[in-house]
């Protein structure tokens, strides 16, 4: 599955775009205006995405990568 396919499936299943998740992650303190907040670890973000949105590990990691700046 391509990176974009992960993002597309997340949006299809949750109704939320990566930008929506960025805003939610910012509200949780995981993201700053410059990207990931200092000291935030992948596990913190992926655990939150799994618990709050029912994402699997691969989909949660794709969003984590997107929040870090990956776009392809």
pLDDT (0 to 100) of residue 33: 85
- How many domains is the chain built from? 1
Rounded to whole angstroms, what are the CA distances from 53 to 34, 46, 60?
Answer: 24, 10, 9
Is residue 1 over pLDDT 90?
A: no
Stretch (H or E) spanning 36: strand 35-36
pLDDT of residue 72: 83
Instruction: State the residue range of the domain holding 43.
Output: 3-68
Quote the CA–CA distance of 10 and 40 in Å, as a whole number.
Answer: 22
Instruction: Please give the structure tokens belonging to residue 64.
Output: 């984590």
> Mean pLDDT for the chain?
95
Strand partners, 32: 35
Give 34-50 pLDDT, tens digit per residue: 889 999 999 999 999 99
Buried/exposed 24-52: b ≥16 CB within 10 Å, e otherwise: bbeeeebbeeeebbeebeeeebbebbeee
């Amino acid at each position: 599955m391509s990176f974009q396919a992960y993002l597309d499936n997340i949006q299809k299943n949750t109704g939320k775009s990566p930008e929506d998740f960025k805003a939610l992650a910012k509200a949780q303190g995981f993201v700053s205006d410059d990207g990931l907040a200092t000291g935030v670890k992948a596990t913190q973000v992926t655990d939150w995405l799994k618990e709050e949105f029912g994402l699997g590990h691969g989909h949660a990691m794709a969003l984590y990568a997107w929040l870090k700046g990956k776009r392809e």
